[in-house]
A and B are shown apart, each in its own frame.
Chain A
Amino acid sequence: KAGVTQTPRYLIKTRGQQVTLSCSPISGHRSVSWYQQTPGQGLQFLFEYFSETQRNKGNFPGRFSGRQFSNSRSEMNVSTLELGDSALYLCASSGASYGYTFGSGTRLTVV
């Protein structure tokens, strides 16, 4: 079965702009989590959605937001981009078990 698909793979934006990233989970998975990875910081949890509802949220400013659609696809939006937002953004989907399957990520560069 198809894995977790994240689009786009690479993105370059200017400070102050906004960006929307997309994640399509594994078919049948209802949970989608978003993470930010920066060098030396590991995986920082952004938020998790389950059945279109935000179930958990990490410690990121309100500029970071997300949503989940009825088909479980999720989008993450970052407004008023800052240089420090440059990172690899990873999406993971989860089914009934504890296992998370990650996508390949979106590499965002803010210039």
Chain B
Amino acid sequence: DQQVKQNSPSLSVQEGRISILNCDYTNSMFDYFLWYKKYPAEGPTFLISISSIKDKNEDGRFTVFLNKSAKHLSLHIVPSQPGDSAVYFCAAKDDSNYQLIWGAGTKLIIKP
């Protein structure tokens, strides 16, 4: 049973436009959420995170929104740039164990 779901395997966005990556979760015990970015043949790198006590966190072009009632979070990238083309993973952590639960990833392609 997937506790963290990224239902879009891929997303194609025009350069300069907004990219919106979505993530849904089922476990209400999750209290911290992270987004990672991964290029081919490299390990994922941390992008941005959000605590469950907040509904928004912004860092430059990247903003993460959390809707706890809907158990949904999204990552907005504005404006999208060619270097943003990568696989984006959503991950969630609950306080009862030390394991990060990962989504399957969404491949973002930025078109020129």
Contact = CB atoms under 8 A, between A and B. Distances in A.
Given A40-B9, A90-B44, A92-B43, A48 B99 contact: yes
Nearest to A42: B104
Interface residues of A, number: 28
Given A40-B9, A42-B105, A48 B98 contact: yes
Contacts of A33: 99-100
Q: Determine chain A's interface SS by DSSP, over half rule.
A: strand
B68 interface: no
Interface of B: 6, 9, 32, 34, 36, 41-46, 49, 89, 93, 97-105
Interface string A52-87: 000110100000000000000000000000000000
A99 B46 contact: yes
Given A101-B46, A104-B41, A43 B34 contact: no
Given A42-B89, A98-B32, A104 B100 contact: no
Interface of A: 4, 6, 31, 33, 35, 40-43, 45, 48, 50, 55-56, 58, 88, 90-92, 98-105, 107
Contacts of A58: 99
A111 B98 CA distance: 35
Contacts, number: 60
Nearest to A55: B98
A103 B98 CA distance: 19
A41 to B, nearest CB: 7
A67 B103 CA distance: 26
Q: Which 10 A-B pairs have the closest CB atoms?
A: A102-B43, A42-B104, A43-B102, A56-B99, A42-B105, A102-B44, A103-B43, A104-B43, A90-B43, A98-B32
Contacts of A88: 41
A6 B42 CA distance: 11
